[in-house]
Amino acid sequence: MHDTKKQEMAALCQALAAPFASGAVKFKPAVVSGNRAMAMAFVDARTVQDRLDEVLGVENWQDDYEVLADGSVVCRLQVCLNGVWLTKVDVGSPSEQPDDGDKRKAAVSDALKRAAVKFGVGRYLYRLPAQWVDFDPKKKQFVKTPTLPAFAQPAKPKEKPARPAAQAVLHSRPASGPELKERLQNFDDKLAKEGLCQRGDLLRHVLEAGRKKGYPEELAEWADTAIDLAVDEGKKFAAQVRERHSERKVVA
């Protein structure tokens, strides 16, 4: 691997492992003793997804899950770092909630977070020192929000490492149908210029998926779940064409 590639890879890994904004880190009591409790720091699955989107782009990571007999869930998380797809696997445990659906949802979230830790996302939270703070056992909440040490605080804002142009197109969820259409068109154009597909292939793929769901033929009219579908399908399409392109290079 060339020095430039190594530097780009190191920058991506560093960005994945960077501390989250203080407001994104939450605390729950791990051990309660009278009016004191040991605070355990954590982030939710959506925060992890946002970090993957921000650093890699939504088209450069994908996840799938398998439910085991005991209710636990296996997550296979794939990320693309500088054109190389890597996979990490881990298992999440169901919660103690009474509803089976909530238990499974908790297991899925736990599995994703555990798999992401293997890419460095949130790993620093496991290195936090034990912290006992005042706790209200009746309200079941901390009297005062626990604090984070300096190493767990985000660095001052600075220029982000540049990502390949194609990664930046779907770096976050579009806020509206018109924005979705514009960004998908740009992404489609970039994939075509990279020689990964023909111009229009991505748009046709997303629209076909939308037809099956009964969504409008005009992308600019899509909203809410339709936009979520478009982002997911765009990510899947990009992963598929890149994988086929890599296989052709190996054969050649």
Residues near 114 by beta carbon (within 8 Å), at least 6 away in sequence: 75, 90, 91, 92
- pTM for the full predicted model: 0.61
Q: Is the pLDDT of residue 3 over 80?
A: no
Looking at residue 124, the DSSP 8-state letter turns out to be G
> Cβ distance 29 to 40 under 8 Å?
yes
Give pLDDT tens digits for 94-124: 877 767 778 899 999 999 999 999 999 999 9
The predicted pLDDT at position 28 comes to 93
Question: For residue 27, what are the β-bridge partners?
Answer: 41
| Residue 83 CB neighbour total at 10 angstroms | 11
Containing 38, the helix (H) or strand (E) segment is strand 36-42
Amino acid at 150: A
Phi and psi of 141, rounded to 5°? -150, 160
